[in-house]
Amino acid sequence: MQEKIDLLVDEINSFTANGFKDAEEFRLKYLSKNGKVSVLFDEFKEVAAEQKRALGKPLNELKNLAQNKLNEIQEKFTQTSVKENNSIDYTLPGDAYQTGSRHPLSLIRNQIIDIFNKIGFSVADGPEIEDDWHNFSALNFPEEHPARDMQDTFFVEENWALRTHTSSIQIRVMEKQTPPLRLLAPGRVYRNEAISARAHCQFHQVEGFYIDKNVSFADLKQTLLYFSKEMFGSQTKIRLRPSFFPFTEPSAEMDVSCMFCNQKGCNICKHSGWVEILGCGMIDPNVFTNCNINPDEYSGFAFGMGIERIAMLKYKINDLRLFFENDVQFLKQFSKVI
């Protein structure tokens, strides 16, 4: 047995490896289950007890020798193979780093907030799941009003729904704070509508409201004119058309002069020269009473606009669905817009 050990020591010492492949060959030949070293260990089990002492040591040394040799070969050729494949061309230009960009809806929302910040409006927030009181009842929606109908509203459970407009935030703020209040409330809203280029079941609104003593319709009109000029350019004109919302009296819808054709008439304004952008009005006294604000002491105006609508006009986007698809080709176009 000692002879076999000596023979293997010589063999291992003189084994020369030329590449990484030889490491595996070496392992199979000596150290695998049926390799020469392992076979000697099997034989060792049969050796008479008195010889075991003498043979055990050299046998272990043989095993260590083989293991070290294998490590050596592996190390040697892993290093050189990395070196050999290290064909990096340092003169090539680097890969451009792809930074993300703001979503067009965020850009428009931030722009709206900035415009109103300048005249003292700050930002308020509210929950997307609302109870009937904040979304409807406190806003003076009669019990049988069609907007409460299952077709328009996503109900989560009885009395709880995904908010259908950001007007619910008016109520939340008025319940907790006392006037004067000058706030802007941006957020996502939900309506049970079929998805098309012009309608979606989720979209975004910005609500604005100003409550103080002696706030008048003229204040509302002037505020909206200021906003429209800031948003669409100083040439912009506005017009208010009578409308109806349960929570405002009087109520109006506001159009801005078409920014695409300068009111000469085009497809976007349907040849009318005007495009509708928001709903507004003087806050109904019933709404104040519902929030424990005295309508004889305070008055206020409110308005609400769709962010998608403004973004579509600003960026000439003709399909609402693009805002929700996360198509990088679409989103990339806004990376230069601050």
Q: Figure out which of the listed residues 108, 174, 181, 280 binds ligand PHE, where binding follows CB under 6 A.
A: 280
Q: What are phi and psi of 308, to 5 degrees?
A: -60, -40
Token pair belonging to 302: 């409110």
Taking the complex as a whole, how short is the minimal distance between the CB of residue 95 and ligand PHE, in angstroms?
46
Q: Evaluate the omega torsion of the peptide bond into residue 250 and state whether it is cis, within 30 degrees of 0.
A: yes
Q: Figure out which of the listed residues 181, 302, 307, 313 binds ligand PHE, where binding follows CB under 6 A.
A: 302
Which residues, 6+ apart, have CB-to-CB distance to 10 below 8 Å? none
211 binds ligand PHE (CB under 6 A): no
Q: Figure out which of the listed residues 279, 287, 298, 323 binds ligand PHE, where binding follows CB under 6 A.
A: 279
What residues does 254 pair with on adjacent strands?
A: 240, 278
| DSSP H or E stretch at residue 275 | strand 274-283
26 binds ligand PHE (CB under 6 A): no
Taking the complex as a whole, how short is the minimal distance between the CB of residue 309 and ligand PHE, in angstroms?
11
Residue 231's nearest CA partner among 322, 330, 126, 115 is 115
Q: Which of residues 139-168 bind ligand PHE (CB under 6 A)?
A: 165, 167
Taking the complex as a whole, how short is the minimal distance between the CB of residue 260 and ligand PHE, in angstroms?
24
Instruction: Write the single-letter amino acid at 332.
Output: K
DSSP sequence for 276-313: EEEEEEEEPHHHHHHTT--TTT-EEEEEEEEHHHHHHH
User: Whose Cβ is closer to ligand PHE: residue 8's or residue 224's?
Assistant: 224
Taking the complex as a whole, how short is the minimal distance between the CB of residue 266 and ligand PHE, in angstroms?
25
Token pair belonging to 212: 């103080």
Residue whose Cβ sits closest to ligand PHE: 304
Taking the complex as a whole, how short is the minimal distance between the CB of residue 226 and ligand PHE, in angstroms?
17
Token pair belonging to 333: 């176009």
Taking the complex as a whole, how short is the minimal distance between the CB of residue 232 and ligand PHE, in angstroms?
19
Q: Give the integer Cα–Cα distance in Å for 9 and 51.
A: 20
User: Whose Cβ is closer to ligand PHE: residue 40's or residue 275's?
Assistant: 275
Choose the stretch contacting ligand PHE; rule: CB under 6 A; options: 18-26, 97-105, 152-160, 300-308.
Answer: 300-308
248 binds ligand PHE (CB under 6 A): yes
Q: Which residues bind ligand PHE (CB under 6 A)?
A: 165, 167, 207, 245, 248, 279-281, 302-304
